[in-house]
Amino acid sequence: MIRLPHHASNRKTEVLAGLTTFFTMVYIIVVNPVILSDAGVPFEQAFTATVIATVVGTLWMAIFADYPIAIAPGMGLNAYFAYSVVGSHGGISYETAFSAVFVAGVLFLLLSLTPLRSKLIEVIPDSLKHGITAGIGLFIAFIGLRLTGIIQAHPQNLVALGDLHAPSAMLTLVGLAVTLVLMMRGVNGALFYGMVATGVIAYATGQLHFDKGIVSLPSLPEGLVAANPLTAVGDVISHSLYAVVFSFLLVTLFDTTGTMIGVAQQAGLMKGNTLPRAREALLADSVATTIGAMFGTSPTSAYIESSTGVAAGGRTGLTALTVAVL
């Protein structure tokens, strides 16, 4: 359960941190369906499934682990699902691929009930834990710089400076300047206010617009995609998807563990080499992966964007609860 009085925090700070995390990671509810739709998954199905998996995993993290860490379908795993799994191994369909995700989720769930995942947190050396934390920030920064055009691909040295006069690049630099000024002045929620200011400027300059309205009802045109464990296991065996299941399991295992350690260290929640309530925290993504596969989305993971909420002051499950509600 959420232990707000136990931490040096307050409700306003936690909710603001949740808003910050949400707006930093909310891109996934659009990007994930776009990627999965390339594999034939209906956009509406993947959109709703992404939201359901995120709500389930993040609620679990909030209520049972009391950590400010959000869970959602992982980037990279969705691309592997859409471009490497579907269509391969004899032209398997996305329904069969979701069976592999479901089986991986169940195995992940069983593995999370054992001491192995908790032991991983204890045996990872301090140098790697600090490296993961730094890597989280660098990865977020690199994605932002690439998507806004400040950097771009280069055939020889891979990365080159983009067009700094482009509207998206100028908008990013202005928003970054606003955020840095607020951070230097010690304003709580500086990242969130910086994003709001950037959004307002983008809307005023015509870079942000709404083509199909703002609100609509969710839908699941395919219903439950993978709900029968026996059928899912049968699909994996008949199509020899053992390597696929192993890949989902292995990547999610280390991705989530590493991200969780990095965010927990940033928040000051680690107790030496151990993470309190590690089992409850590690169960969040395995439960979300299993539920998400049933509705039609790729494996979930702890989100590195949770570090932005921690930077805004999030220290408890109330931050994650805010993300889940949103």
Of 152-166, 226-240, 244-258, 309-323, minimum mean pLDDT range: 244-258
Amino acid 129: pLDDT: 63
Structure tokens at 151: 């950097």
Amino acid 101: pLDDT: 94
Structure tokens at 133: 């934390």
Q: Is residue 265 part of a domain?
A: yes
Chain segment 227-238, per-residue pLDDT in tens: 888 999 999 999
CA–CA distance, 88 with 3 (Å, rounded to integer): 47
Q: Is residue 135 part of a domain?
A: no
Q: What is the mean pLDDT of residues 9-38?
A: 88
66-105 burial, b for 16+ CB within 10 Å, e for fewer? bbbbbbbbbbebbebbbeebbeebeebebbbbbbbbbbbb
Q: Is residue 149 part of a domain?
A: no
| Average pLDDT for the chain | 87
C-alpha distances out from residue 245 to 83, 85, 149, 287, 288, Å: 15, 10, 36, 16, 16
**Rounded to two decimals, what is the model's pTM?**
0.79
pLDDT at 82 over 80: yes
Q: What is the mean pLDDT of residues 309-313?
A: 89
Q: What is the mean pLDDT of residues 43-69?
A: 95
| Residue written as token pair 């067009």 | 163
Query: What three-state secondary structure class fits 207?
Result: coil
Structure tokens at 167: 């509207």
Q: What is the mean pLDDT of residues 51-67?
A: 95
Query: What three-state secondary structure class fits 72?
Result: strand
Q: Is residue 67 part of a domain?
A: yes
Range list of β-strands (E), 245-316: 300-302
User: How sure is the predictor about 35, in pLDDT bands with cuts at 50, 70 and 90?
Assistant: confident
User: How sure is the predictor about 268, in pLDDT bands with cuts at 50, 70 and 90?
Assistant: confident
Please report the DSSP string for 176-189 in residue order: HHHHHHHHHTT-TT
CA–CA distance, 207 with 200 (Å, rounded to integer): 10
Query: Which residue range(s) make up the domain with 117?
Result: 6-126+230-325
Q: Is residue 182 part of a domain?
A: no
Q: What is the mean pLDDT of residues 299-318?
A: 90
Percent of the chain's residues with pLDDT above 70: 93
User: How sure is the predictor about 62, in pLDDT bands with cuts at 50, 70 and 90?
Assistant: very high
Start-to-end Cα distance in the chain: 19
pLDDT at 272 over 60: yes
Amino acid 130: pLDDT: 67
Contacts of 168-176 with C-beta under 8 Å, sequence gap 24+, read 168/207, 171/198, 171/201, 171/202, 171/205, 171/207, 172/144, 172/145, 172/148, 172/198, 174/198, 174/201, 175/201
Q: Is residue 72 part of a domain?
A: yes
Of 38-47, 129-138, 267-276, 288-297, minimum mean pLDDT range: 129-138
Q: Report phi then psi at 166, rounded to 5.
A: -65, 145
Q: Is residue 178 part of a domain?
A: no
Structure tokens at 168: 């998206």
Among 180, 243, 174, CA closest to 205: 174
Amino acid 61: pLDDT: 95
Amino acid 135: pLDDT: 72
**Length in residues, the chain:** 326
Number of structural domains, the chain? Answer: 1
Of 65-69, 103-107, 108-112, minimum mean pLDDT range: 108-112
pLDDT at 125 over 70: yes
CA–CA distance, 177 with 54 (Å, rounded to integer): 31
Amino acid 152: pLDDT: 92
Q: Is residue 216 part of a domain?
A: no
Q: What is the mean pLDDT of residues 246-255?
A: 81
C-alpha distances out from residue 141 to 135, 145, 308, Å: 10, 6, 11
CA–CA distance, 36 with 97 (Å, rounded to integer): 11
